[in-house]
Amino acid sequence: MPQVDTPYLAGLDLRDRRVVVVGGGTVAQRRLPTLLDVGAQVELVSPEATPAVEGMAQAGELHWHQRRYAEGDLADAWYVLALTDDTEVNAAVVAEATRRRIFCVRADDGTAGTASTPASAEWHGLRIAVASGQLSKRPPISGGHDPIRAASVRDGVLDWLRSEAGERLLDSPGSRSRSRTALPGVALVGGGPGDPELITVRGRRLLGQADVVVVDRLGPRTLLGELSPDVEVIDATKLPRGRFMAQEAINACLVERALAGKFVVRLKGGDPYVFGRGSEEFAACVAAGVPVTVVPGLSSAIAVPALAGIPLTHRGVAHEAVIVSGHLPPGHPESMVDWTALGRLSGTIVVLMGVQNLPAIAVVLRENGREGATPVAVVQDGSMPAEKITLGTLDSIAELSEQAGVRAPAIIVIGGVVAQRQ
């Protein structure tokens, strides 16, 4: 029997198990969301991290040791990923993992690790994985361990699943596929509130055709792990009161890549035109002569309350719903929100980006007519596995949110409709 160099595929149950990731760059940004979604207790070891990865640490989704890797970091781990751009560090991580009999992925040289990350995708409850490799006694095919080739095969399977035959087999609509048909310009894609299944069919299809993806941390981040390795991923994360990529730089990036002949998908959380600055990016593309397409998405202002069981309107309770930004406190000279008028309304108020200013918002609404007993819900990480809901009233919600450790991203819903939640 010939010796084989093809990895054995197995499903790992990493829930509540320690996983060590060494390196906080763009490769980690792709790999981390899937680990977090399966419930792994992730410990990141890296002196630096992309803004999106830093945001995961700030949100408490992982523990970040902000330093270089050191011998002993892998103790008690179940799984390890060496994802730095330093070959010596990656080799040292693999060596320690091997001594400890811990399977380890090495991103810069898949053949030098003891495990590999297959090209994978989720399609209506099915997890599809393709690992590259070849018979060692035969000449290498496309370079042996070829992640791009594996991704192409995976996408071919997804193409078939999207076909009439696949739909008949599984009796369900199709999923994403990576088409090799060249597309022009930029697509502004609303990714929904975060759950990857809440992106639109068209948005997911265009994402699968992208040469470049410009993404922020509020988009459906697990979909990054399904991209072919040849897709360039650019982190446009804006951290609250932290690091950010200036909007002008994002606009320039979209235009530059598109004019270079790349098909660019700007993957945004929620809807591009609901506090997403999509119109600014659209205008920049038009001014540069770049074809641009807008794909609407589910706005978190609507989707997150609905998923939490809160209707924005309800017969006999609320005949109006107003969506406002709370990133500036009431009374700020640059704020365009008329909080005095909102206090006189009887309907639903949805506040985005308002966690920091929630105490001041509650005060000004009470001062202008809203009862202190008005129900309030704060939904953090809506639609995501770490979703947390804090309930209270205008009188109590600021203190309750502080006690619960609520942090962005969170949606604040104010009004009688909150009482409709079962």
As annotated, the active-site residues are: 216, 238
**CA separation, residue 141 to residues 133, 134, 136, 178, 336 (Å):** 8, 7, 11, 21, 60
> With contact defined as beta carbons under 8 Å apart, do 310 and 420 qualify?
yes
Strand partners, 128: 121
> Long-range contacts of range 39-47, CB-CB < 8 Å, 24 or more positions apart?
39/14, 39/15, 39/385, 40/14, 40/15, 40/16, 40/79, 41/16, 41/17, 43/18, 43/19, 43/73, 43/77, 45/20, 45/21, 45/69, 45/73, 46/21, 46/22, 46/84
CB 44 within 8 A of CB 65: yes
Find, among 327, 347, 188, the residue nearest to 269 by Cα. Answer: 188
10 Å Cβ neighbour count for 396? 15
